[in-house]
Every structure is written in structure tokens, then in C-alpha cells.
Amino acid sequence: MRNIKILDCTLRDGGFVNDWNFGKGSIKSIIGRLDKAGVDIVETGFLDSRRKYDPDRSIQPDTGSFKAILENTDVKHAMMIAMIDFGTCGIEAIEQQGASCISGIRVIFKKKDCEAALKFCALLKEKGYKVFVNPVSTTGYSDDEMAGLLDEVNKLEPYGISIVDTYGLMHKKELLHYFRLMDSRLKPAINIGYHSHNNFQLSYANCIELLEIQSERGLILDGSLYGMGKGAGNANTELIAMHLNRYFGAHYDVNQLLEAIDVDIMKEYAKKYWGYSLMHFIAASNDCHPDFVKTLIEKKTLSVRSINEILQKLEHKTSLTFNKDLIEKMYEEYQNVEVDDTGGYIRLAKEFGDLPILIIAPGNSIVKHKEEIDKYIAGHKPLVISINFVTDMYKTDYVFFGNAKRYSQFYDEIYRTGADAKVICTSNVSESNKSIDFIFNFNSLVSREAPIRDNPMLMLLKILVKMKVKSAVLAGFDGYSGRSTDNYFNEYVKFLYCDDDVVLRNELIKNKVKEFKNEIDLGFLTPTAYL
């Protein structure tokens, strides 16, 4: 009968969520309940010589430190193992297995370190440990490269080797391909493991697919309690156990797993969320490192479509290794879409003529001072331009967007039935199925100073200066305060993100306004920090 085991990695992979600070009591409680539940292999955490001994953490500098933490744990069933990220823990930190509380060690390593990592694994085996070979990001190996690795693994004869889906990229087809490649080439006694990440919410489904394969190969399925793990998290130990009980005649005590989740895991979940998220879906769908996505999201200027368009240009050979300089360069190139906007300036200037211009921004003051703004509109009949938002409070003739994310968020309001405001955008905002009336080069409008590089007010003022507009009146340019929600009127709050360096930002914009006043007469209808 096929040998199927559950390996729980809560204390190791889950530690990425809380810096492995579960607390000594919870570490013992989790191990105890996993053992009582019948979980076959329990990963107690990381071995990392860069860390100091800390009884409250599941990451320790040597095997002896784990012995002190696990004293009196009284494990009756489970195999106790630890993991080493190759290069972070030397062989001198590993005592002989007979003196250790740990029976096995998993070694994760990057493709470039294969040869050295396998030699290290051999040293661990000589010390009496069951050795698990874990090649990081298995999807980064070609078939020939994987075949070469498997030949070397056969020489080592470890306890197991894992399919490691580091970035949660695998669907059924890819997973089964790697399993069959390993199964056909490995010596019969070597177990095959599967370590998943839930970027596509396929971790549990993929485990089921492996269970359905007709093979005599020993199978080890990684899981963690409640899926606790880095980023999108892992397959859920409790779900794998439930499935094995129901369809494979196993006898795991799922109630013990649920009790561990309730008592020891939910308090961690309350502090910091893990699991499926838009960021990790985007990363996996583009076969790239999540930090590429995180960097672009933190720009707070790009729609998801724009982020995808940038990531699709990443070369596969570099996409799984984060390179901040590379993604910053790609972001700049994407924003700097060049268009011939000469005709746009001429057409817009003709439409504006000599009419007075009122520019409205989404500051709180447009509500508090609505009476004054309405009075100005009634008395001067200006062309009204709203910046980066649309509102029913004021009838606008033009809307200006210098931010693709804001354009996308207000898309429905811009083009709703009855809306007749013309749309002005910078070239980093791409058209959807509705047209943009005027598009101006983003790169020619941005400021040199990073905190205000793409400030929409400054970009619009630069457009007006290029059109040789003589004067404009502004409302709602209140300035930034420490609390973002105080900066904007209520309807706009749902579109907010936190602003950093508000004092510096205010000062830089104030200086720019002074410069603009040399070229265009600016008046303010509402209180502002920029005078």
C-alpha cells in the first residue's frame, strides 16, 4: 500500500508571519497537538546560525538550542525535523543525531548552489539524520536540469526530495509533470514531497491531484495549520488530514488540529493576515517574485492592468529574483509613454479661449466652503476642471487625471449617462473602451522632486502654462496633514491611501506654487497650505 505522510511546517513556514515568535508555550502546545493528531512529520522550525538562542522562537542557531526548547514535549508519534536554508547554518552547529531531539533535516537551496548543497546534505546524513532535499522554486528547473539534479540525488539517497512551488505557480499540469519526472528517475526508497504556496488557491487541490496518481512512491504532503505561511500561505494541514481520513482510510484527529488553530494560530492571524491576495495572484500569474508586484502597488499610481502590463515585460530568466533597480527602470519607462501632444495643446487652448478657469481638487474645504465656491461659479461663469476625482457637488466642464489608478476608480462616474465633461489625461493613463479627449506627455509634466513627482495639481498647472493661460482660481487644495482622512472630503475617503512625508510634500508644493506665480496668476478660493 502507498505510504502517504503529512508534514506540518507551521512553526517553520508560519514563522515568516511573526518572525518565528510563537512563544515557548505555544511551540510546545502546537507540537503536542500535531503529534496527538497523528501528524507524521513535524517541522520544529529553522536552524540559522545568524540567530541567537531565544526560547520563544522556532528559529535557533543550532540543534542543541532546539533540545532546550523541546524538553519535556513528550512526542510519541511524529518524526521531528528542522530546516536549513543552505548557507545560513554550518555543519558545526549540527550535533550527532543520537544526541539530538531532531531526527531529520530539510535543506532548501537555490539552483546555483545545487552542488554545494548536496555535499552539505551528505555531511548531515553522515551525522545520522534523515535528509530531505528541497530545491527552491522547482519551476525554475528545465527538464534536463531537473534530471541532472535527480541523478545526483540518487547518489545521495536521501529520505526525500520535494517539489517546491516557492511562488505558487503550479497548476495540475505542471505539478504532475514534475512528479512523473521524479517518480520515473528516482530510486524506489526516496520519498517525493510537495511544498505549495496558495497564490492561485490551488494548494489543497494540487495535494488531492497527487493523491490520485497511481504510484507506489512514498508521498509527503506539506501543510500548515490554517495555511499559516509566507505570503499566500500553504496548504492547510487540517484539510489534508480530513481528505486522507475520508478517502484513504487515515485516522488523523482533526479536532486536535482545530484546537491548535483556535488556541495558538488565530491569535497570530489576528495580528497579521496571510493567505490568498491580489498581490500574490498577480505575482504568480506573471511568474515573478512578489516584491516586483509590491513595489509597483506601493507607487499608488498604477491600475492593476498597468501593473500587469509592466510585469509581462519581465524576462523569465530574471523574473523570480527580485531586482529593485530593474523594476524602477521599467516603471519609469512605462510612465514615460510618448505621444505627439502638440495638437492637443492647440485644441485645448482654443476651447479655453479667454474664459476664467476654476480648478477643483478633492480637499475637505470644497464641502466647508461650498457656498463661496457656488457664488464664484455663479458670478464668473468659469470653465470648471476637477482633478483626479468626479463629484456631483459641482458641474464640471473638464476632468483631469494624471494617475491611472484614480482614472480607473472614477471610470464609471466619468462616463456615466448624462456626464458631458471632457477628459484630459497624462500619457501614463491608457484608454479603455471609452475615449480620452486630450492626452499630454507625462514625462514633460512631472517634477524633479520625488515626493511630488506626479502631483496632479502641478502637472495641470504646467499644462496651463504651456497653453499660455494667464490666470486660474483654485479650490480644495488644502494641503496634507498627518491624518489622510482629514485631507479630503467624505466621498473621496474610500479612495485614499496614506501619504508619507507630509511636511516635506507641503513645502515642496508650496515652493512650486511660488514658481508658477511668476508665469500664471493664481488665486485660492479656499484655505490652503500653499500660500
The residues that bridge with 474 in the sheet, in sequence order, are 359, 524
- Condensed to tens digits (0 to 9), the pLDDT of residues 285-305 reads 998 999 999 999 887 777 787
Residue 100 sits in the same domain as residue 232 = yes
**311 and 392 housed in the same domain:** no
Domain boundary among 218, 249, 271: 271
> Is residue 348 domain-shared with residue 324, that is, in the same domain?
no
* pLDDT tens, residue by residue, 415-440: 886 778 999 999 888 777 788 999 99
What pLDDT is recorded for position 344?
A: 92
**pLDDT per residue as tens digits for the range 31-82:** 999 999 999 999 999 999 999 999 999 999 999 999 888 888 889 999 999 9
pLDDT of residue 483: 57
Q: How far apart are CA 228 and CA 213, in angstroms?
A: 27
Q: In this structure, is residue 470 part of a structural domain?
A: yes
* Cβ burial, residue 503 (10 Å; 0-12/13-18/19+): exposed
Provide the CA 208 distance to its chain's centre, in angstroms. Answer: 26
Claim to verify: residue 24 and residue 69 sit in the same structural domain: yes
Confidence of residue 267 (pLDDT cuts 50, 70, 90): very high
Q: Is residue 530 part of a domain?
A: no
Q: Both ends of the chain: CA-CA distance in Å?
A: 80
Residue 138 CB contacts under 8 Å (≥ 6 apart), including other chains:
146, 162, 163, 164, 165, 166, 178
Instruction: Determine the structural domain holding residue 451 and report its residue range.
Output: 342-524
Partnered with residue 195 across adjacent β-strands are 164
Selection from 241, 271, 246 nearest residue 257 by Cα:
241
Per-residue pLDDT band for 262 (boundaries 50, 70, 90) equals very high
Q: Which residue is associated with the grid cell 482545530?
A: 258
Do residues 302 and 357 both lie within one domain? no
Same domain? For 233 and 288 the reply is no
In contact, 81 and 112? CB cutoff 8 Å: no
Cβ of 460: how many Cβ atoms within 10 Å? Answer: 26
Per-residue model confidence (pLDDT) at position 160: 98
| Domain end marker among 256, 271, 286 | 271
In 3D space, the residue among 354, 310, 336 whose CA is nearest the CA of residue 440 turns out to be 336
Chosen domain end from 254, 271, 288: 271
Residue 69 lies in a domain: yes
Cα distances (Å, whole numbers) of residue 221 to 6, 160, 391, 453: 5, 11, 53, 49
* pLDDT band for position 497 (cuts 50, 70, 90): very low
Tens digit of each residue's pLDDT (9 = 90 or more) over 312-355: 999 877 888 899 999 999 988 877 666 788 999 999 999 999 99
Residue 471's pLDDT is what? 95
Q: Are residues 364 and 422 in the same domain?
A: yes
Question: Which pLDDT tens digit goes with each residue over 210-226?
Answer: 999 999 999 999 999 99
What pLDDT is stored for residue 498 in this prediction? 46
| Predicted confidence (pLDDT) at residue 103 exceeds the cutoff of 90 | yes
Question: Nearest 5 degrees, angle CA 316-CA 322-CA 324?
Answer: 120
Residue 489 has pLDDT above 70, yes or no: no
Clarify whether residues 217 and 233 are in a common domain: yes
Please indicate, yes or no, whether residues 124 and 209 belong to a single structural domain of this protein: yes
**Could you tell me if residue 66 is inside a domain?**
yes
Residue 442 predicted with pLDDT over 50: yes
For the chain, the domain total comes to: 3
Do 307 and 216 share a domain, yes or no?
A: no
Are residues 40 and 137 located together in one domain of the fold? yes
